[in-house]
Amino acid sequence: MVAGNWKMNTTIPDGVALARAVLERCGAEGTVDVAVLPPFVHLWPVREVLAASSILLGAQDVFWEEGGAYTGEISPPMLAGWCDLVLVGHSERRHLFGETDAQTAHKFAAARRHGLMVILAVGETETERDEGRTVPVVDRQLEAVLAEIDAPPPADEWVIAYEPVWAIGTGRTASPAQAEEVCAHIRAAVSARAGESPRVLYGGSVTADNAAELFSRAGIDGGLIGGASLKPELFADIVAAAALAALAR
């Protein structure tokens, strides 16, 4: 899977144009699941652009309640039937807005109750990596979600994205070996708990230049793409790198 997280970028007309450009370049891809995650206000016009394609549409976040006095929030039933998937636990939600592991777990469980595929993002800060705490941090984030639900979803109904916080939007990328090591740990940890692991993506300054090397690693099943997802030609190059890696396995 290659998922493009547009974050808080583009106007609605710009977003529709971007979706059309992604569709033109990636709409025929059959080896890799391609997803775009535009801002909330873009979801309905972008859905119209992608409606007849295999490109998945996702939301960048979701709230855990189904309705009520939660000004500004978007609930799972508002997205179900419109979106294919949602992203929860992105580092910007955790570190800019103070979202806790428990809140991320609530969001994951709520989204699953409404049949949405979920991309769960996990990852450590620079300080946590320098202190040798990458594995405990990732394990804590995973365990919060697994403890919240009765049973893990089928492996094809959720995705884990490992995104080291120190590599997001900084231009600094985890080396392929570093990324593979953590992704392999995630796969083993979830398999031990759930019997099988979903796909594990890498996110953190993935570019058209480094995608092929990252995706060639056995433990990495694609990418959660930030800045490069706003440039359709670069995003298409990343999707092509993922397709070649998939065919080589």
Domain that holds residue 115: 2-248
Predicted confidence at residue 166, as pLDDT, reads 86
**Residues 127-164 pLDDT 10s:** 999 999 999 999 999 999 999 999 899 999 999 999 99
Q: What is the mean pLDDT of residues 59-88?
A: 97
Predicted confidence at residue 86, as pLDDT, reads 98
Predicted confidence at residue 37, as pLDDT, reads 98
Contact 109, 139 (CB under 8 A): no
Is 30's pLDDT higher than 80?
yes
Predicted confidence at residue 168, as pLDDT, reads 78
Binding-site residues for substrate sit at 5-7, 169, 205, 226-227
CATH number for the domain spanning 157: value is 3.20.20.70
Which sequence positions are flagged as catalytic?
A: 90, 163
Q: What is the mean pLDDT of residues 40-61?
A: 97
For the entire predicted model, the pTM comes to 0.96
Q: What is the mean pLDDT of residues 168-182?
A: 85
**Residues 198-233 pLDDT 10s:** 999 999 889 999 999 999 998 999 999 999 999 999
Domain count, the chain: 1
Is 75's pLDDT higher than 90?
yes
